[in-house]
Structure formats: C-alpha cells, structure tokens
Structure 1
Amino acid sequence: MDRLDVMRLFTRIVERRSFTVAAQDLELPRSTATQSIKQLEARLGVRLLQRTTRHVRPTLDGEAYYRRCVAILGEVEDADSAFSGAKPKGQLRVDVHGTLARHFVLPALPSFLAEYPDLKLHLGEGDRLVDLVREGIDCVLRVGDLQDSAMVGRRVALLKEVTCASPAYLARHGTPTQLEELEGHVAVGFISSATGSMIPLEFRVDGAPRNVTLPATVTVTGAETYASAAKLGLGLIQLPRYHVESELLAGTLVELLPEHPPSPTPVSLLYPRSRQLSPRVRVFIDWLTRVFANASSVALAVE
C-alpha cells in the first residue's frame, strides 16, 4: 500500500474504532490492515493506536496524525477532481429521514446515479442522533432546527406546515375559524424524541409564533401514525404539507386556520465539522438542493 492508501486506512480505523470494520469498508483483508498500521507506526517511530480486545482508540500522537491525514486526503481528493475532470466515485453513506426520503429523495435517485455511475449509495433510515464519524456515515438528512455544533449543516429546504383535521372530527367539534375558537378542541399529541414531551401546536400571528397546547387523548411518536390518527377523527394535527397533500386534495383531511400557518420546518444536510467535505458529499448536497428547489411550491418554501 502506498502512503495515501495507508492514510485512508488509518483514518478509517480511527473513525470506525475497529480494524475489522475498517478493512471491510475498504475491501481489504484484516491481516493487510494490521500489517500496514504496524509498518506505519514503525516508520513514524510512534504508537498511533491503543488496541484492546473490544476497541481501538487513537493515542495523543494518533489524534494529531489523524487530523493531518484528514486534511491531506481532502486536499488530494479535491486536487484530483479539479484537474482530472473525473466524477466522484466510491461509497457514499447517508442517513435520511425516512418519510422525507420516500417523498423527495428516492423518486429522483435514478437521475443522480445516472449522473454519477461510479458512486455506490447506502441509505440508512432513522431520525435518531447518530455518531457520523463512529458509524462511518458521510452525512445525514434531518428535519428541524440544528442543535449539534459538532456538525456542519447546510439547509436545503423549508417545508410548509399545515394544521388539519378530518371531516368527521370537525362535524363533532366544529370548524375553528380563529385561534380563540380552539378552546374545547383536542389534538393528536406528537411526542418529541429529543425532550419526551408533547410538542404544542404553533400558529403565526402578525409574523410571530404563538404556541397553543390542546388536550390530547392519543399521543404518538411517528409521523405516519400521527397522520393516520387525524384521519380517524382523533384530533387536530400539524405536519409538513407534502405529507398530507393527497388527503387534503381528496377531502379526507381539511386545512384549518390557513391565515395562521405554523412556521416552516427547515431541512438540512449535516456532516462532521472535523472532516474535509469530500467531492462525493459535495455533489450529493448540490444535487439534493436542486431536488428540493424543483419540488412543488405547494409542498416546499425554498430559501
């Protein structure tokens, strides 16, 4: 292995905390990975990794060498792309919000893969917080305000939100035409995975948000269940318009208080602050930004 390949191997071992997993990622025999790192440590004259039966951790020298390797590899990859004109290739690992991916990412994915035929894309699905570096993930697509300062975020869209309920629910409780008429109504409660508390309904009044907490007989933690509960007449809900656009058109859900819409919800791609943005990630972010920009204006408000 040449020096750059050994650097790639070393950074992968640090990130994955495992010789075996790093070797699998790079399609190398584990014995080759072990021998290459031993030769690297011998050449540098320092110990880079602390090995136990369960974990591999960088030493202080290893941490310093890792940071230099990440910067060098990023510069090399950028230089190769700029002067060779070659398109990015290799494995791209992305963690996505499942509902959002099914509506926007997957339908457009064939065009992306046709444009970059040498890329291999792995889509993980979830809304949990992930350790991008430890789990070998290049970037994540998330909905909501950004909280983690350890990651760099690029906003790709603002989702229009809507308040709605089923015709059956409105027949029982009446249709509110102003905020004061929400008294006596109930909501389907959506429980935040971050706080464990029910998220209040939000309405914009004269450009400022106003929170309203309604009683909830049913609380949920999933978007699909949330929308289904509303269609069954269990209460008011607020969620991105794209998620219920077909129900609104069919009349199985009815939009409420459109003059006081909830604040739009940001959609962002995040990647580790400590890692140079690779050409693979850069083209994916640029492509996904175009995907959202070209989506229906009914579903999105793009900056």
Structure 2
Amino acid sequence: MDRIAAMNAFVRVVEAGTFVKAADTLDVPNATVTRLIQRLEADLKVRLLHRTTRSVTVTPEGAIYYERVVRLLAELADIESSTSHALRKPSGRIHVDAPTAIGTLVLMPALADFYRAYPDVEIELDLGNRRTDLVAEGIDCAIRAGEVDEQFLVARQIGSFGFTTCAAPAFLDAHGTPVSPEQLRDLPTVGMAPSRGGRPLSFQFSYDDQTGDFALNHRLVVDDTNAYLAAGLASLGIIQAPTYSVRDAIAAGKLVPLLEDWQQRTNALHVIYAPNRYLSAKVRVFIDWIVELFEQDEQLRRQ
C-alpha cells in the first residue's frame, strides 16, 4: 500500500465529508479512495471512519489520527517545496478560483508574464461570483472580494478596490446628470446581485464621515460583472461598479463618472487557501506573483 496516498485520501475524505467528493478532488475513481481507506484501517487495526449510506463521520481514533496526519503531510510538502529544484523550477497544475471581473480584466492580461517566468506551471482558472468550497472542490487558492467569513480558511489581503458611479453619455443626455445620491431614486439604475437570485447590492455613498446605503428600484438586475458593465455601456441605467472594471471605458469616454464629491465604498481583496494544505512551490509562486501584480496597480493595491 502507498501509505502517503492512503493518508492523503483519508484527509480528503474527512475534509470533503464524502468519498465521492474526495475522489473528485483527487481525480481518482471512488473505488480507489475506498480501497485505500480500507487498507489503511486494516493496517492500523482501527476504524477511522463511520460510514452510512448518507454520511461519513470520523471516529474518536480517526480524529486523533487526522490531526497527526495533517501535520505530517504538511511537513512532507514543506520538504518537497523547499528543495532547490522545486523553488528554482516549480511545475504542475494549480486550481485557482477568482471573480469574473478580476479574472478577465486583471489576471488574463498579465498571465503571459507569469508563464514566461514559470513555463512548467499549468493553471486551471474558474471564474464566477459564487462562493466555492475550496476543500470539496479541490481548489488550491481563491481570490475573494470583501470579507472572508469562512473562519477555517487562511486569508491574506492582496489588495483593495473602490467603486465608481457612472453612466453612458447618451443616457445622461436623455435623463440628465444627478448632482446628489437622492436623485438616483428618480432615475433608471442597474443593480448587481452577488449571486443568482440574491438581493442587489445597495449603492453606497459617504460625505463628511456620514455613510448612506441606497436600496434602489432598479430597472434591471444582473449577477455577472461583465453583463453589469455592458448594461452601463448600453445606456440602460446608472451603475456603481468596481473602479478597475470601468476605468478603460471612462478613459475612452464611453462612461462618465458621477457624484465624485461623494466617496463610494471600498472592498478588500484576499487570496485564501485551506490551512491544512501547505503551499507547494507552484502555489507559492503564483500567490507571490498576484501580490506583486496587485501592488503595481494604483487602483488595486492594498490600502
């Protein structure tokens, strides 16, 4: 039996909660995970997991074994990633999750530079606005906007971004230009929902240390940042979008910033990863790269 493979399978089952999810994250058949766990229990002469048709729970002995195995696997990963060859020439596939706008407008234009520096690293990049389960879905690291509320995850702030309220020139010609946030209630606006079926984010403004949220009756609500920008460009309404996502359109005169005397909200950006997965060389160099990438951007650097 490959003891390291069996230990890794056991840890994934505990973290994912099912054999099926663990097998998916390891990219092996479910039967392989089952066989590894069975052989591990037979070799140790102790039951590590309680199995039912609906769930998998850890036995008291399994919980103790899990804590020790996690530390051992972390040490082994540390040894591997700290070798001169691994640090000099990291290789392999990493699975990264990021918001759509960050992936499209920030990561994609710069990835060629990353590949020139690390040609043997492969990236599987998932873009979307849903909250993914890093452990269950086998994601090595994720970029998250806003607060990180999963207490078991390690979060490192890599940047921050502000919002800009804006509209297309044709829209302003037809409807007029608001001079205060209150006037937005009488104008067509577009809302952005953080997830499908979720409540649209309020427009937020602050002035003289006073902050106000404006829950508006939007004529259109979308749950995708690319669609949100497209709606603004199409003169469908006023939008309040991440500044980095509209800066090119503003520079080109396709959108006009509004209410600039009122400060608009800011969000932190974090890279997150599970604490029980020591950062391998390939993941470490990717995180170091995005930290530098965001630091070089005046509108995304950490505040």
Q: Same fold (TM over 0.5)?
A: yes
Cα offset, 1:163, TM superposition: 0.6
Match of 2:250?
Answer: 248
Query: Any idea what the Cα deviations from partners look like across 1:26-73, whole Å, max 9, x if unmatched?
Result: 576776655443332122221123445676554332233222212111
Query: Residue 268 and residue 7 in structure 1: after superposition, are their counterparts in 2 closer, same or farther (change >3 A)?
Result: same
Structure 2 residue aligned with 1:70: 70
With over 3 angstroms needed to count, the CA separation of the structure-2 counterparts of 1:178 and 1:17, relative to structure 1, is: closer
Counterpart position of 1:139: 141
Partner of 2:226: 224
Q: From the superposition, tell whether residues 62 and 117 of structure 1 become closer, same or farther in structure 2 (CA, over 3 Å).
A: farther
**Aligned: 1:59 with 2:59:** yes
Normalised to the residue count of structure 2, the TM-score between the two structures is 0.84
Which structure 2 residues correspond to residues 73-88 of structure 1 after superposition, within 5 A? Answer: 73-87=73-87, 88=90
Worse-matched range after superposition: 205-214 or 247-256: 205-214
Within 5 A, what are the aligned runs for 1:116-265? 116-179=118-181, 181-182=183-184, 184-193=186-195, 196-265=198-267
SS in 1 for 2:201: coil
CA deviation vs aligned residue, 1:132-175 (integer Å, no higher than 9, x gap): 11222222212222222232211111113111012222123221
Cα distance, 1:209–1:28 mapped onto 2, change above 3 Å: same
Whole-Å Cα distance in 2 between the matches of residues 72 and 288 of structure 1? 29
The residue type paired with residue 3 of structure 2 is R
| 3 and 180 in structure 1: CA distance in 2 versus 1, 3 angstrom threshold | closer
Of 159-168 and 279-288, more deviation after overlay is shown by 279-288
2-structure distance, mates of 1:197, 1:21: 30
Partner of 2:103: 101
**Which has the larger displacement, 186-195 or 226-235?**
186-195
The amino acid across from 1:65 in the alignment is Y
3-state SS of 1:91 partner: strand
TM-score calculated relative to the size of structure 1: 0.84
In the other structure, the counterpart of 2:4 is 4
Cα deviation, 1:90-119, whole Å, max 9, x if unaligned, reads 432222212211111122223333434443
Alpha carbons of structure 1 residues 163 and 195: separation in structure 2 relative to 1, 3 Å: same
Identity of aligned residues (%): 38
* Contact residue 23 and residue 33 of structure 2 kept, 8 A: yes
- Specify whether residues 253 and 24 from structure 1 end up closer, same or farther in structure 2 by C-alpha distance, changes over 3 A only: closer
* Shift in alpha-carbon separation, 1:75–1:171, aligned structure 2, 3 A: same
Cα distance in 2, alignment partners of residues 282 and 217 from structure 1: 44
From the superposition, tell whether residues 83 and 169 of structure 1 become closer, same or farther in structure 2 (CA, over 3 Å).
closer
Residue identity opposite 1:86 in structure 2: A
CA distance in 2: counterparts of 1:103 and 1:250, whole angstroms:
16
Q: CA separation in 2, counterparts of 1:67 and 1:104?
A: 38
Larger mean CA deviation between 86-95 and 176-185 belongs to 176-185
Q: Kindly provide the amino acid, as one letter, of the partner of residue 237 in structure 1.
A: I
**Cα distance in 2 for residues equivalent to 1:25 and 1:130:** 13
Gaps of at least 5 residues in structure 1 are none
Note closer, same or farther for the CA distance 1:165–1:68 as it changes in structure 2 (3 Å cut): same
Query: 1:100 is aligned with what amino acid?
Result: I
Give me the whole-angstrom Cα distance separating, in 2, the residues matched to 1:65 and 1:114.
Answer: 42
User: Which digits, 9 at most, give the CA deviation of each residue in 1:158-208, with x for residues without a partner?
Assistant: 113111012222123221234455453332122343983232211121244
CA displacement, residues 8-36 of structure 1 (integer Å, 9 cap, x when unaligned): 23323444556577567657677665544
Given that 1:127 and 1:142 are in contact with CA atoms closer than 8 Å, whether structure 2 keeps it comes out as no
The residue matched to 2:264 in structure 1 has which SS?
coil
Structure 1 counterpart of 2:146, one-letter code: G
Whole-angstrom distance in 2 between the partners of 1:220 and 1:24: 31
2 CA distance for matches of 1:189 and 1:9?
Answer: 44
Letter in 1 for 2:65: Y
- Say if 1:249 and 1:147 are closer, same or farther in 2 by CA, change over 3 A: same
Structure 1 residues 70 and 89, CA, compared in 2 at 3 Å: closer, same or farther?
farther
One-letter identity of the residue aligned with 2:257: E
Where does residue 45 of structure 2 map in the other structure?
A: 45
Instruction: Tell me the C-alpha RMSD between the 2 structures.
Output: 3.0
Contact 1:95 1:140 in 2 (8 A): yes
Structure 2 CA distance, aligned partners of 1:152 and 1:56? Answer: 25
